[in-house]
Amino acid sequence: MNRIIVIATLCCAILSCSKAPPAQPPVAKKIKKELTIHDDTRIDNYYWMRLSDEQKNSENPDAQTQDVLDYLNAENTYTKSVLNHTETFQEKLYTEIIGRIKQIDESVPYKKNGYFYYTRYEEDKEYPIYCRKIESMENTEEVMLNVNEMAEGHDYYSIRSLRVSKNNQLLAFGVDTLSRRIYTIKIKNLKTGEILTDQIEGTTGSAAWANDNETLFYTIRDPETLRAYKINRHTLGQTTDQDKTMFVEEDDQFSSGVYKTKSDEFIIIASRMTESNEYQILKANNANGNFKVFSKRKMKHEYSIDHYKETFYIVTNRDKAKNFKLMSTSENKTDERYWQNVIEHRDDVYLNGIEIFKNYLVIQERKNGLLQLRVTTWDKKTDYYLNFGEAAYAAYLSTNVDFNLQILRYYYTSLTTPGSTYDFDMQSKEKTLLKQQEVVGGYNADEYQTERLYATAKDGTSIPISLVYKKSLKKETGNPLLLYAYGSYGSPIDARFSSTRLSLLDRGFVFAIAHVRGGQEMGRDWYENGRLMHKKNTFTDFINCAEFLIKEKFTDSSHLFAYGGSAGGLLMGAIANMNGMLFRGIVAAVPFVDVVTTMLDETIPLTTSEFREWGNPKEKDAYDYMKSYSPYDQVEAKDYPAMLVTTGLFDSQVQYWEPAKWVAKLRELKTDNNSLIMDCDMETGHGGASGRFKRYRRTALTYAFILDQIGVHE
């Protein structure tokens, strides 16, 4: 793909002084833009930085495009000059980080429909190789996709959603070469190796095969808002203009998708928003049939469905079950009035998901912020929890495709335990370790300490904090500490192992996760009390956790750093305004910081579907509340800590201009001499680089920035 990469040229059209020395930060030009609603006018001097996708991809940039690209490149040049003295250190960190990754590696195989499927990596290769073997792992390997070969000539290359037809002969998969999360679905004949002429553009990348092995259901994205809104049916050999539209989601607060049940018996269309779900079902043997609604959507009714034999199992918050309960119904009587209770609601336990087996039901739950796996027989004579034996950990259901087994596969990790895949015999209760992430060069978990502590929020709520550090660390010495949080969408941040993190821990850092409200670690209320008109709890919880860690002598303000990305970047922006000087430095990765302006613009991806997360600023109360914490709107003339901001030109989740505008405004108003730098990846989007190793270049830069603040350069 042809992209514009403009070498930094500091032109007078955008910088206040074209002869400024390299060490001077770029100063963006100001063009006054008045934004008025609810009789309130906000002035945005940097609104001009916004470019359309067409402008970003143009081979002949117009004047505005050139100005924006020049400014972004000037910021990158400035960042490079500020961190120039750390370049050798960055390279050392990068080598150190990727040196812990096993170069030649292979996933744990799982068996489906007669084949063992697995993924492997080759030495010095950036991308996976997707493979399978028939019936036995002793048989000849069949390479389905070698992504290293496919990615040649591309700056960015992402494969997702590999789906094999029921006859095992066809593979559908999504390809994104731009990092905008718009995928082209391609189909490969696994017998001949041929890529079929059928190519479906503008999709989410995910597809579902009907059982006739020639019909594919897929989801189309709106090219402007990127909302997944339309489900089409494609027949092999036909052109896409012959595809039939099966469903269009008219409500722009909902997104849609399509998938196949584990039983292979149903194709499911899912429509989702923050507080409501709806599903439509179609027998997978009836490819040309029409979908029927499972149970009609209702505001504040959320549910999900699983199928086994003639029964659907429903995880639902019906009947005020805020932490969800499990119900069931016949596949022929799916309306809500026929549902029957299987597991009742519990105030202290959040029902997170289920895995169905012939003789067992496995329930993934959360209690006291920790994931639990509960095993019960259908007759309820056996009911027990797996014991993991650590204070802070994460345990997840893994790939379990066979209903008839008594073996549960799960994934376990903690802040000190590398990711581990187990097979657990639900009858004998014996577990077998199939694979544990290898840390190349050696790693001894006994050298590290993990803790689970609780800070007290301003309203008296106890906020969990998970910590890890070397046992040799002494708390009274003012240790450097990196505090991380996310706190949005009900997404829990669990205590997981990271070999990358060792580069900080081994240099004396404490790493801590603040499980702030807005996630769902402590149940549904934890989420409800951190969104909409309670969003500020997320920010004050984080600050209270930071103050607690200082009080407990884990660190002090001169050694305390904060990190968050995307919606966690909003958190970083908010705390920078509220109590920034509590921290030595803040790293805001792809940060959502221009909350009000973005949520007022329904042409921007994610806006309409997130009104129930942040609020709709077209309503005055929501507007006033959002404006009161929106980082871009609340920048003031005062001191801020050292800050590193990262973004990507092709980011589809948080458009690059949000962090770019924020940095420009901070630089205009802040009264300190602390570092403020921005790294804009001119090739990628929200998730950064697509390669297995390349992504760690930015990690090395981030760590070098943090360590440089406290004078560590080796």
Enzyme catalytic residues: 566, 651, 686
Query: Which of 102, 99, 107, 130 lies closest to 435 in space, CA to CA?
Result: 107
Cα–Cα distance, 613 to 595 (Å, whole number): 12
Q: For residues 631 and 627, what is the distance between their CA atoms, to the nearest angstrom?
A: 8
**Which DSSP string corresponds to 289-345?**
S--EESS---TT--EEEEEETTEEEEEE-TTT-TT-EEEEEETT--SGGG-EEEE--
Question: Is 10 in contact with 28 (CB distance < 8 Å)?
Answer: no
Dist. CA 437–CA 458, nearest whole Å: 40
**Structure tokens, 653:** 């989740």
* Residue 475 backbone phi and psi in degrees, to 5: -65, -30
Segment 382-388 long-range contacts (CB within 8 Å, at least 24 positions apart): 384/429, 386/410, 386/424, 388/412, 388/414
CA 165, 171, 172, 173 dihedral sign is: positive
Q: Please state the three-class secondary structure of 27-46 as a single string.
A: CECCCCCEEEECCEEEECCC
Q: Where are the beta strands (DSSP E) in 656-702?
A: 676-681
3-state secondary structure of 626: helix
Residues 358 and 400: beta-carbon distance below 8 Å: no
Sign of CA dihedral 555, 556, 557, 558: negative
Tokens 């722009």 correspond to 252
SS3 491: coil
User: Could you tell me whether strands 462-470 and 510-514 are parallel, antiparallel, or unpaired per DSSP bridges?
Assistant: antiparallel
In order of 1, 107, 145, 183, 608, the CA distances from 186 in angstroms are: 18, 24, 12, 9, 30
Residues 6+ apart with CB under 8 A from 91: 700
- Looking up tokens 């029902």, which residue turns up? 351
Residue 540, SS3 per DSSP: helix
Bridge partners of 350? 366
Strand partners, 311: 308, 330
**H/E/C letters for each residue in 183-227?**
EEEEEEECCCCCEEEEEEEEEEEEEEECCCCCEEEEEEECCCCCC
Tokens 């003295």 -> residue: 85
HEC profile of 371-391: EEEEEEECCCCCEEECCCCCC
Query: What are the helix and strand counts (H, E) for the chain?
Result: 13, 38
What is the crossing angle of helices 620-629 and 536-551, to 10°?
30
Reported in sequence order, the residue ranges of 378-445 that DSSP labels E, i.e. its strands, are 383-385, 393-397, 407-414, 420-425, 431-436
Dist. CA 710–CA 156, nearest whole Å: 34
